Amino acid sequence: MTILKEILEKKNICKSIWFMRQAGRYLPEFREIRKKNPDFIKLCLNSELSSEITLHPIKRFNLDSAIIFSDILIVPYSLGQSVKFIKKSGPELSNFNLESFLDVTENQFSKTLNPVYKSIEITRKKLDKKKSLISFIGAPWTLLIYMLNIKKGGNKEVDITKLKKEKTTIDKILKKIITFLCVHIKNQIDAGADIVQIFDSWAGLAPVEDINEYCYIPNLKIVDFCKKEKIPNICFPRGIKEKYYEFNNIVRPDGINIDYEVDPDWVRKNLRNVVIQGGLDPKKLLASESEMLEGATKYIQAFKGIPYIFNLGHGLLPETDPDRVKKLVEFYRNFDE
Ligand code: CP3
């Protein structure tokens, strides 16, 4: 049994560490490959290279889990939208077209994503048996934001007028996308992944009065699917502050990744019947070494005596020094609780 499975299913207290965005731009070996592959989506769909990138951080830091190298936007891509990554301004998707979106069949969708499943197969064979291979999806609300381009104001809010105007379209998208996300999860697990993480990176932008409809219910439907299929799952509803409590009680995932805005002591008291993951601000890896280690200590101590998966409160930043990551891993491994 892999380490994460042991924690998530059996609630065993094991030491376990991995990082969101552990494969990526802060690693020179990734930048080297990326230079030669200007089309990011194509790179995600290159099974051999994607597997190689997935294993970069495992080779360097001997982490307990690998997360498959892909992107949450591969799903809108497989449903007909082209995806470009513009330096500094982030991802840009071509205009959403409801008809072509509704036209894509499950078979076509799985076929486009087949290289991801192939990459999982290759990676599983190369990965130590005790290590987990994590698959992932973007939660429906976070995908919707990119698909309909409804973020504004420097990523701090959504365009409410547009959201209301697109309501009928949104209802149709949600219905289909939940089904297809479940297909993508199942395919990744069948290919050899053993965990799924559900990234709701923009959950904090859901209007308060609609958080049930856009965040809780879609996450719940996907978690219920995972439970039915016995797939260990971790949710990451980033930015919802004290609503982590409500989210956890409604969605009831096996694991929950906390962000750095929620206090770990509050989390320990208020999030029950769930395995906690993450929390440390990725900016701490850019600060002095002592500040980074102090930050890490706070989380390790807050979750002493209960199952806890060490990770961050968001992904590793591109400007992170890989040696800092190494230091943090060593510190965690040697920490005497
Ligand atoms: O190492 C891993 O975590 C596995 C691979 C992974 C990527 N993206 C690779 C990637 C994972 C799990 C993701 C998830 C993802 N993608 C999320 C959820 C997590 C989060 O950070 O909130 C989101 C919102 C996206 C969408 C996305 N993809 C954005 C906003 C960007 C551009 C800026 C950025 O954050 O990197 C991407 C591109 C992307 N995805 C890169 C990588 C390595 C950088 C591509 C490049 O080289 O330019």
Ligand 1 neighbourhood includes 123 CB (under 6 angstroms): no
Distance of CA 318 from the midpoint of ligand 1 (Å): 10
pLDDT band at 154 (very low <50, low <70, confident <90, very high): confident
Å from CA of 51 to ligand 1 middle: 16
pLDDT the model gives residue 32: 98
Q: Is the CB of 34 under 6 A from ligand 1?
A: yes
Q: Which of 245, 285, 283, 239 is nearest to 266 (CA)?
A: 245
Mean pLDDT of 107-135: 98
Residue 241's pLDDT is what? 98
- What pLDDT, in 10s, does the model give residues 155-208? 788 999 999 999 999 999 999 999 999 999 999 999 999 999 999 999 999 999
Q: Are strands 195-200 and 157-158 parallel, antiparallel or unpaired?
A: unpaired
Measure 146 CA to ligand 1 centroid, in angstroms.
13
Residue-level pLDDT at 152: 80
**Residue-wise pLDDT tens digits, 57-85:** 999 999 999 999 999 999 999 999 999 98
Contact 106, 186 (CB under 8 A): no
> 291-318: per-residue pLDDT in tens?
999 999 999 999 999 999 999 999 999 9
CA-angle at 235, arms to 229 and 240, nearest 5°: 150
CB within 8 Å of 227: residues ≥ 6 apart: 233
Residue 78 and residue 113 in contact, taking contact as beta carbons nearer than 8 Å = yes
Q: Would you say the CB of residue 69 lies under 6 angstroms from ligand 1?
A: yes
Residue nearest to atom 43 of ligand 1 (CA): 24
CA of 21 to the centre of ligand 1 (A): 7
How wide is the angle at C-alpha 214 spanned by C-alphas 308 and 8, nearest 5°?
20
Take atom 45 of ligand 1 and give the residue whose Cα is closest.
40
For 200-251, write each residue's pLDDT tens digit: 999 999 999 999 999 999 999 999 999 999 999 999 999 999 999 999 999 9
Note the pLDDT tens digit of each residue in 2-45.
999 999 998 999 999 999 999 999 999 999 999 999 999 999 99
Q: Which residue has its alpha carbon closest to ligand 1 atom 4?
A: 69
> pLDDT tens digits, residue range 259-300?
999 999 999 999 999 999 999 999 999 999 999 999 999 999
| Axis-axis angle for helices 47-61, 322-334 (nearest 10) | 50
- In single-letter form, the type of residue at position 207 comes to P
Query: Which distant-in-sequence residues (6+ apart) come within 8 Å of 226 by Cβ?
Result: 185, 196, 232, 233, 254
Is the pLDDT at 138 greater than 90? The verdict is yes
Domains of the chain in sequence order: 19-265 (3.20.20.210)
Per-residue confidence (pLDDT) for residue 129, from 0 to 100: 97
Q: How far is the CA of 306 from the centre of ligand 1 (A)?
A: 30
Note whether 279 and 312 are within 8 A (CB).
Answer: yes
Whole-number pLDDT of residue 90: 83
pLDDT tens digits for range 105-117: 999 999 999 999 9
Quick one: DSSP state of residue 335? -
Model-wide pTM > 0.75: yes
> Which stretch of DSSP H or E encloses residue 92?
strand 90-93
Q: How far is residue 76's CA from residue 85's CA, in Å, rounded to a whole number? A: 14
